């Protein structure tokens, strides 16, 4: 099968700046400071400033940014951390690696973001923090989060892995809570040439502890004040990210323009059950992903739609097909199917469409036309003929 419209096309991003990228890599090669080098320090400062906060600490991955970041905020054994069931598994793994107890809650079916009303009901005397996952490029309401934190005396630790330079209600992603975790996985809005992550914070003590934790717990060479690990953002990756950072605002604007065209083109399919995830952030949404729901009124099931788009050469994704509480690895947490009905329902409906800077207007029209063609000829399977079973089995 020929891919006509890929889900992500990084070549469009890299080709115009290929010479600059090669030059910054050459500088690092000549300097030879591959670990904790100058390019890392420069990028840490630049990304923190762009995000409206004070300190950045580069680590090996977004997962490490969560796990070590929580530890740097003194969150661990005996503490409960609230997070949404509708998130990538790295959020949950980060809490567990920090030694804390994850407390999952449901999501808002319109935005797919954490349901703060559900979070309120999950507060206990052991609740230390809440992790609002800024999903798909849209921040959780900052006003509501600040009210939540003030009322219940908990820390806000942002998972901003999909929300580089996102904004909402006067805050940038990464500037709201005690700390925030970012990922620089290659397909992110700001992506490296491999894995990478960063913790942002305005708290100097958190930043200093994070720097120790990422480097074997050492405050200085061969002097280890705590049990840390080896998790450092490579200088080469930092050089690439720093070179790309000035282009990020325009890339984000391009994503917003693409999303706005998708919204317009898809509007006529609303009565056919094709519903985009709601944007409540206006121009502050940075659209790491553009996600639609194939709801129960649609004559075509999600799987059928995805298969037919694939056959037409259009790549799509599902973010995410199995909620955290139903993942086989985490049955020990004690959750069951039915505990988080909105997250479970979304997992069966959502479909991520191609989204990247450089996606053309004609390609967007082609994607939507293909969706319309499938929907117009679709028919749902008879439930009595469906295969018996569930993802929780």
pLDDT at 386: 37
Could you list the beta-strand ranges (E) of the chain: 55-59, 80-84, 101-105, 127-130, 155-159, 167-168, 171-172, 179-183, 197-201, 218-220, 223-224, 274-276, 290-294, 350-353
Given a cut of 80, whether residue 387 has pLDDT beyond it is: no
Quick one: 108 and 186 in the same domain?
Answer: yes
Which domain-ending residue is among 245, 273, 307? 245
User: Is 314 in a helix, a strand, or coil?
Assistant: strand
Query: What pLDDT is stored for residue 378 in this prediction?
Result: 75
**Mean pLDDT score, 24-37:** 97
Buried b (16+ CB within 10 A) or exposed e, 75-94: bbeebbbbbbbbbbebbbbb
Residue 108 three-state SS: coil
Q: Is the domain of 64 the same as that of 132?
A: yes
DSSP state of 317: B
pLDDT at residue 381 in the model: 57
Q: What pLDDT is attached to residue 345?
A: 98
pLDDT higher than threshold 80 for residue 171: yes
Which residue reads 């929780």 in tokens?
A: 392
Helical residues (DSSP H) of 60-214, grouped into ranges: 62-72, 89-97, 116-121, 142-152, 204-214
Q: Predicted confidence band at 166 (pLDDT cuts at 50, 70, 90)?
A: very high
**Structure-token pair, residue 49:** 């400033």
**Is residue 225 domain-shared with residue 79, that is, in the same domain?**
yes
- pTM, two decimal places: 0.95
387 in a structural domain: no
Condensed to tens digits (0 to 9), the pLDDT of residues 9-22 reads: 999 999 999 999 99
> Are 326 and 332 within 8 A, CB to CB?
no
SS3 at position 149: helix
Q: Which of 222, 245, 268 is where one domain is finished?
A: 245
Q: Quick one: which H or E segment has residue 88?
A: none
User: Residue 391 pLDDT > 80, yes or no?
Assistant: no
pLDDT over 70 at 389, yes or no = no
Pairing of strands 55-59, 80-84: unpaired
Residues 254 and 358 in one domain: yes
Provide the domain limits for residue 373: 248-378
List the structure tokens of 203. 């708290």
Query: In whole numbers, what is the pLDDT of the chain averaged over residues?
Result: 95
Looking at 227, 245, 263, which one is the last position of a domain? 245
The mean pLDDT value for 200-209 works out to 98
Give 63-110 pLDDT, tens digit per residue: 999 999 999 999 999 999 999 999 999 999 999 999 999 999 999 999
Extract the tokens encoding 250.
């325009």
* Statement to judge: residues 252 and 219 lie in one domain: no
Dump pLDDT digits (tens) for 329-380.
999 999 999 999 999 999 999 999 999 999 999 999 999 999 999 999 877 6
Is residue 384 domain-resident? no
pLDDT above 70 for 393: no
Same domain, 224 and 127: yes
Q: Please count the structural domains in the chain.
A: 2
**Quick check: is 391 in a domain?**
no
Determine which one of 101, 188, 209, 308 is catalytic. Answer: 188
Residue 259, pLDDT score: 98
pLDDT > 70 fraction of the chain, expressed in percent and rounded? 96
CA 154/CA 312 separation, integer angstroms: 49
Give the pLDDT of residue 249.
Answer: 98
pLDDT in tens, 143-156: 999 999 999 999 99
Does 188 participate in catalysis according to the annotation? yes
Quick check: 90 and 66 in contact, CB under 8 A? yes
Same structural domain for residues 71 and 100? yes
Residues 122 and 178 in one domain: yes
The stretch 316-323 carries a mean pLDDT of 98
> Is 175 in the same domain as 99?
yes
Q: Within this chain, do residues 60 and 99 fall inside the same structural domain, yes or no?
A: yes
């Amino acid at each position: 099968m020929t891919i006509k419209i890929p889900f992500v096309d990084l070549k469009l991003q890299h080709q115009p700046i290929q010479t600059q990228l090669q030059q910054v890599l050459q500088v690092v090669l000549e300097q030879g400071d591959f670990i904790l080098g100058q390019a890392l320090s420069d990028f840490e400062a630049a990304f923190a400033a762009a995000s409206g906060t004070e300190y950045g600490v580069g680590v090996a991955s977004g997962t490490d940014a969560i796990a070590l970041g929580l530890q740097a905020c003194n969150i661990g054994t005996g503490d409960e951390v609230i997070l949404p069931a509708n998130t990538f598994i790295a959020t949950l793994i980060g809490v567990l690696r920090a030694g804390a107890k994850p407390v999952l809650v449901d999501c808002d079916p319109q935005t797919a973001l954490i349901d703060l009303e559900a979070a309120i009901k999950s507060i206990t005397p052991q609740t230390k923090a809440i992790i609002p996952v800024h999903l798909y490029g849209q921040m959780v309401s900052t006003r509501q989060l600040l009210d939540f934190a003030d009322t219940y005396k908990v820390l806000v630790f942002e998972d901003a892995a999909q929300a580089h330079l996102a904004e909402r209600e006067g805050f940038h992603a990464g500037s709201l809570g005690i700390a925030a975790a970012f990922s620089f996985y290659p397909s992110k809005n700001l992506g490296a040439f491999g894995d990478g992550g960063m913790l942002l914070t305005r708290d100097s003590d958190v930043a200093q502890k994070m720097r120790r934790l990422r480097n074997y717990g050492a405050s200085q060479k061969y002097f280890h004040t705590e049990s840390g690990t080896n998790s450092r953002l490579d200088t080469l990756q930092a050089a690439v990210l720093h070179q790309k950072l000035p282009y990020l605002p325009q890339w984000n604007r391009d994503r917003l323009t693409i999303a706005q065209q998708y919204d317009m083109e898809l509007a006529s399919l609303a009565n056919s059950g094709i519903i985009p995830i709601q944007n409540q952030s206006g121009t502050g949404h940075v659209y790491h992903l553009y996600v639609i729901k194939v709801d129960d009124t649609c004559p075509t099931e999600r799987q059928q739609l995805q298969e037919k788009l694939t056959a037409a050469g259009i790549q799509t994704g599902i973010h995410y097909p199995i909620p955290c509480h139903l993942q086989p690895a985490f049955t020990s947490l004690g959750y069951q199917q039915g505990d988080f009905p909105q997250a479970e329902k979304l997992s069966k409906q959502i479909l991520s469409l191609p989204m990247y800077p450089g996606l053309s207007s004609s390609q967007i029209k082609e994607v939507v036309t293909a969706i319309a063609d499938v929907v117009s000829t679709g028919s749902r399977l008879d439930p009595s003929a469906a295969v018996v079973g569930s993802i929780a089995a």
